[in-house]
Amino acid sequence: PDESEVIKSKIRELGSYTVIDKVSARLDERSDQYVAYFTNLSIEPFVMPAQYVREYTKILQGGIWCILRIQYTHPVDDDFDDLFDEPLPKKRGKKHGPEDSPFSVISLNPIQMPNLDLDAMIAERRHFSTDQWQQLLLRSAGYEPTALSERERMHFLERMVPLAERNYNLCELGPRGTGKSHIYKEVSPYAILLSGGQTTTANLFGRMNAKGEGRLGLVGLWDCITFDEVAGMNFKDANAVQIMKDYMASGSYARGRDTLNADASIVLEGNINDTVESVLKTTHLFDPFPPEFHDDSAFFDRIHCYLPGWEIPKMRSNLLTEHYGLITDCLSEFCKEMRRKDFTHLIDRYFRLNSDFNKRDEIAVRKTFSGLAKLLFPDGRMGKEDVRWILEYAIEGRRRVKEQLKIMAGVEFIDVALGYYDADDATDARVVSVPEQSSGALIPDEPLLPGHVFGVGRSADTGEFAVYKLENRAVAGEMKLQTEGLGKSKAVREAMDAAFRFFVGNGSRVAPGMHIDRKDYLLFLNDLQGKGVSDELSLAEFVGLASSAANRPVTPALVVSGIIRLSGTMDDLRGLEDIMRVAKNAGGKRVLLPMSAIRDLQGIPPELMGAVSPIFYMDGDPADAAKKALEL
C-alpha cells in the first residue's frame, strides 16, 4: 500500500504494468457490469471484464490473488489541453463511475487455486487407504505424520474441523509452542485470527445501523474466527457474552430489530501454565478464561469439543514435513466446500448414543464426528470400525467439557458417563472416559497425617459447595489456637472459634488421656478449589483438632460437613445431595453424617449412594462424630 502511488504512476507513464495483488469483484446490476477492487493497490473501483469473472468465480467470493496486466488510458481531454494556454473547462454535474476509470485489465492469471472440482477430488479418495489419506492431509498442512502418534494425528486433524464444519465451537488449551494458531493463520484464507482475543461486539456481530458487510460483522464474513490467548478476551459491552452464547448455540443473533444468521465456527485458544494434574486438583480446565467467563456454565456448555492441547508436542523441526502434499489453496478450498455437506447421520448406521446424552451433548458429538468424517472419509464410505474410531474421539472431546461443567455447576451436569451401544446389540454398550480425569485426585484413598481432614461446605463468597482441607498440628503449649488461610471473613473466624471452644470443653470426651490443655494448635485452611473460604467447616475443624491431639489419622477418603455453634449446638445438615456429589467428584469414598440424615438418603441418586458410603454419628454430638471419624 505504501507504494501505491508509485505503481499507479508507472502504469500511467508506461501505458501498462504488471502487478500482483488480491482482486475482488461484485456485480453492479444498475450498470450491468462487474466492478473490481484491489486489496492493496489504492486504485478506485474499475470495470472487470466479464470473461474473467465467469472463468474464476472465486473473484466474486471474497477475492483471489492474481498476476494482472493493468493498462492506463489517458482521458481524451488531456490531448486538447496542450493546444491551449488554459485547460478546457471541465464538465460539471457528471458523477464518475467505474466505467470512467482510466485503469483496465488486459490480462489476469490467478496465483491461488481459482476453482476446485470437489467431486473429482472426492473420487480420488478411493485410491488411498485411511492411513495414507490421513498422512496426505497432515502433510498438506505442513506436519510430518510419521513423527506423530495416532492420537496426536487425530488432535492435529481436529484443529481442521472448524474449517470443514459450520457453526462448530472448539476449545484448545495447552502449553505454549504447540502451533495452536498455525492452521487458522497460515493455511486457510477463510479463517481470521484475533490476536490477544480482543474485539468489539460491533466488529464481531456487526453495527446496528450499518448496511452491507458492516451489518454482518466477522461471523458473517469468515468461515472461522479464532480467539487467540483467551485469557485476554475482553468485551467492553456487557451484553457481548450473552450475544456470543446465543450465536454459539443457534448460529443466529439479534442486532436491533433483526435476527441474523451466520455459519462461522468459533475457536477458543489459550495457555495452561501448570500441569493438568495440578489444575484438576484445585479447579477446572476452563480456569484460564477471564473473570467474566468464570463459572459461566451456560457459555462453556456451548463448546462442542475440548481438544487436550497438553497432549500435543511442542513444534520441532522433525514435526515439519519435507514430503509432498496438497497445496494449501487446495486444502483450504476442500475444507470450505465440505462445509456444505452433512455427515452427522452416519453414526446411526451402526451405533446409538446412551441415555446420559442430552440434546446439546448429542449435537456436539455429531458435529465433531461429522467434521472428522468429512476430512477422513469425504466419500462417506465408512465401515463399522471407522465410525467407532471417530465416534469415540468425538465423545471424549465432549465429555471433557462435561467433566469441567460438573466441577463448576454440580448436579446440573452430573450425567457425564457419555457412551454408545451397538444398534444391533444393545448389550454391547461402552462408556468413553477422558484420560486426565481421575477420581481421587483431590482426596486420596490413603491415610492422612494426624490433624488433617477434608471438609465440605458452602463458600462464603459464591454460595457453592466446595472441598477444603483443614491441616491441624498440635505442639507443646498452653491451649491456644493460631490460624492461617481464613481470610478476612468474620463469619469464617467465628466458625473456627466455635469449633475450638467446643474442643476446649469437650475434647477429652473423644479420647481420654489426650491432655489437650498442654498443647497449642496450628490450623491452615486450604481452599483447594479456589471457591473462597467457608464458614460451614466447624465440625470438620473439631474432628481435625481431636485428630491432632490424639495423634491419630481420620478414616481415609473421609469427608466431614456440619456446623457447630458457639452454644455447642449443631445445625441441621442441609444440601445432602450436593455434599455427597462434591465429595464423590473430589474422590471422597466416605461421608460423616448424623443419624437424622437417614431419611434424606432415600432421595439420593443411586450412583452417589454407590460411590460414597455414609458413616453415622449421634445427632447433635460432635464428640461422637470425632470418635467415628477416628475409628475409636
Per-residue pLDDT of 184-218, as tens digits, reads 998 888 899 988 767 888 888 888 776 666 677 88
User: With contact defined as beta carbons under 8 Å apart, do 542 and 626 qualify?
Assistant: yes
What whole-number distance in Å separates Cα of residue 259 and Cα of residue 158?
A: 31
What separation, in Å, do the N-terminal and C-terminal C-alpha atoms of the chain show? 83
80 pLDDT exceeds 70? no
Task: Indicate where the chain has its CATH 3.40.50.300 domain(s).
Answer: 119-338
Looking at mean pLDDT, say which of 5-19, 360-374, 550-564 comes out highest: 360-374
What whole-number distance in Å separates Cα of residue 81 and Cα of residue 78?
A: 5
Task: Indicate where the chain has its CATH 3.30.230.10 domain(s).
Answer: 452-629
Give ∠ CA 224-226-231 in degrees, rounded to 5.
Answer: 160
Lookup: cell for 62:
471474497
Residue 276 parent element (H or E) = helix 276-282
Give exposure, 500-538, as e/b (b: 16+ Cβ within 10 Å).
bbbbeebbbebbeebebeebebbbbbbbbbebbbbbbbb
The CATH code belonging to domain 452-629 is 3.30.230.10
Q: Tell me which of 3.40.50.720, 3.40.50.300, 3.40.1260.10, 3.40.50.10710 is the CATH number of domain 119-338.
A: 3.40.50.300
What whole-number distance in Å separates Cα of residue 572 and Cα of residue 559?
A: 17
Residue 409 parent element (H or E) = helix 384-409
Q: Tell me which long-range contacts 405-409 makes (C-beta under 8 A, separation of at least 24).
A: 405/297, 405/300, 405/301, 406/585, 407/283, 407/284, 407/529, 407/585, 408/284, 408/286, 408/295, 408/297, 408/300, 409/295, 409/297
DSSP letter at 554 equals P
Q: What is the pLDDT of residues 161-187, one digit of tens each?
A: 999 999 999 999 999 999 999 999 988
Q: What is the pLDDT of residues 395-421, one digit of tens each?
A: 999 999 998 888 787 667 878 889 999
456 bridge partner residues: 467
List, in order, residues 6 or more apart from 124 with CB less than 8 Å away. Answer: none
Q: What is the mean pLDDT of residues 154-159?
A: 96
- Judge if pTM exceeds 0.75: no
Q: Which of 36, 39, 38 is nearest to 52 (CA)?
A: 36
What whole-number distance in Å separates Cα of residue 500 and Cα of residue 433?
A: 43
What whole-number distance in Å separates Cα of residue 153 and Cα of residue 240?
A: 35
281 pLDDT exceeds 80? no
Band (pLDDT 50/70/90 cuts) for residue 242 is confident
What whole-number distance in Å separates Cα of residue 503 and Cα of residue 508?
A: 8
68 pLDDT exceeds 90? yes
